Copies of this chain bind each other. A is one copy, B any other.
């Protein structure tokens, strides 16, 4: 697709400049974008109104419309997000593990930008500014391919980035929005190996699966979370109830919400009725195995598919297991390697769970809802990786970098 090849060429050119800016220059751009976003909020809201009108005409549903909708407050929030990125330490340029080899070569590992980052995303226009901000701070050019439902809003936001970048005398091609929002442009991005160093899909499970299966550009798989809370034989019941309740109900539509409850058979009689009561009062539908259904009158019977389902809703599956080993087996079989928690006061069970569960984040006695760049203390995130390569868990600034060996010689040969 010619549009993308041309964008790719411009991106590579801009990359040479952006990768070598110092932190002050990058922060200057970001601060100016924040000012201009607030100053031109009306332009963004006008564009957003057009998107919403078109979207409603196309029959978009409630949750999507909510994610698509901007307001003065949301724009202020976006600007604040950029100011927070300015405050974060710039990871670029640091040289680690510098050492002198026996032959006199001085070898170090320098942290450098990835180069050109592609992102395919849906609905939420704030992703445009978040991604562009994180990329500028890390010296990465970004190629943004948002959904057609948010095109006007995304375009307005990118125009403001361009205004700020040009005001700073820099190449506006460091942030580019793909103008074609058909399926073809997404497919073309997945094959743009010559110009993209990485492709990150942000959105629903369907989008992520499509990108993983079709992209020849290296992909970071993000965000699908079939997270479990396991209530061990040695659980503190009060902690169990509050953590399960929090993990399920605090924000059910996000990837680190719990989707499945496992309870040790020795405490099922006591724990399940207590947890069931709390969840039911919170409006949660419970889909359980036979024992769960016997102990929680409100529960419906679960089918095999429930164990593997990310509901993203006020629904939870529930199963009684005979041991911590069985709980870990179940999680490693059905989980999506996102966030998993054990509730226990037993040292060996806690260690076993931490060692054996294969996930990005494994918790003892805490809610799965903490898997998040801000909660972990890394600031803004570009996504939560559920794969093992390159980055796992919340991806912040460091995860948008790679390394380059720099070697200082004095004539060495082999």
Binding site for B on A (CB under 8 A): 16, 20, 99, 101, 105, 107, 110, 114-115, 193, 197-198, 212-213, 216, 218-220, 236, 238-239, 242-243, 245-247, 250, 332, 354-356, 358-367, 369-371, 375-377, 387-390, 392-393, 402-414
When C-beta atoms are compared, the residue in chain B nearest to A215 turns out to be B216
Are B402 and A389 in touch, CB under 8 angstroms?
Answer: yes
Q: A388-B114, A402-B388, A411-B236 are in contact. Are A366 and B105 (CB under 8 A)?
A: yes
Write out the residue numbers on chain B whose beta carbons fall within 8 Å of the beta carbon of A360: 404-405
CA distance A406 to B342 in the complex (A): 12
Nearest-CB distance from A33 to chain B (Å)?
26
Are A376 and B115 in touch, CB under 8 angstroms?
Answer: no
Write out the residue numbers on chain B whose beta carbons fall within 8 Å of the beta carbon of A406: 354, 362
Sorted nearest first, the 6 A-B pairs with minimum C-beta distance are A366-B409, A246-B413, A390-B390, A388-B402, A361-B405, A239-B411
CA distance A242 to B411 in the complex (A): 8
CA distance A392 to B197 in the complex (A): 12
Among B218, B388, B404, contact of A362 (Cβ-Cβ < 8 Å): B404
Nearest-CB distance from A4 to chain B (Å)?
17
| Copies held by the complex | 2
Among B105, B197, B366, B405, contact of A389 (Cβ-Cβ < 8 Å): B197
Are A243 and B411 in touch, CB under 8 angstroms?
Answer: yes
Are B213 and A387 in touch, CB under 8 angstroms?
Answer: no
Among B197, B354, B411, B414, contact of A365 (Cβ-Cβ < 8 Å): B411
Majority-rule SS of A interface residues: mixed
Are B218 and A387 in touch, CB under 8 angstroms?
Answer: yes
CA distance A247 to B411 in the complex (A): 12
Among B20, B114, B387, B414, contact of A250 (Cβ-Cβ < 8 Å): B414
Among B362, B369, B376, B392, contact of A402 (Cβ-Cβ < 8 Å): B392
When C-beta atoms are compared, the residue in chain B nearest to A214 turns out to be B216
Among B20, B107, B413, contact of A242 (Cβ-Cβ < 8 Å): B413
Are A355 and B243 in touch, CB under 8 angstroms?
Answer: no
Are A413 and B198 in touch, CB under 8 angstroms?
Answer: no
6 A-B pairs with C-beta separation under 8 A: A101-B375, A105-B366, A220-B389, A370-B407, A370-B414, A389-B389
Nearest-CB distance from A272 to chain B (Å)?
19
When C-beta atoms are compared, the residue in chain B nearest to A361 turns out to be B405
Write out the residue numbers on chain B whose beta carbons fall within 8 Å of the beta carbon of A247: 413
Write out the residue numbers on chain B whose beta carbons fall within 8 Å of the beta carbon of A387: 197, 218
Nearest-CB distance from A199 to chain B (Å)?
10
Known: A107-B377, A243-B413, A366-B407. 12 other contacts (CB 8 A): A16-B356, A99-B377, A115-B388, A197-B387, A218-B218, A243-B411, A250-B413, A358-B404, A362-B407, A364-B409, A366-B411, A369-B414
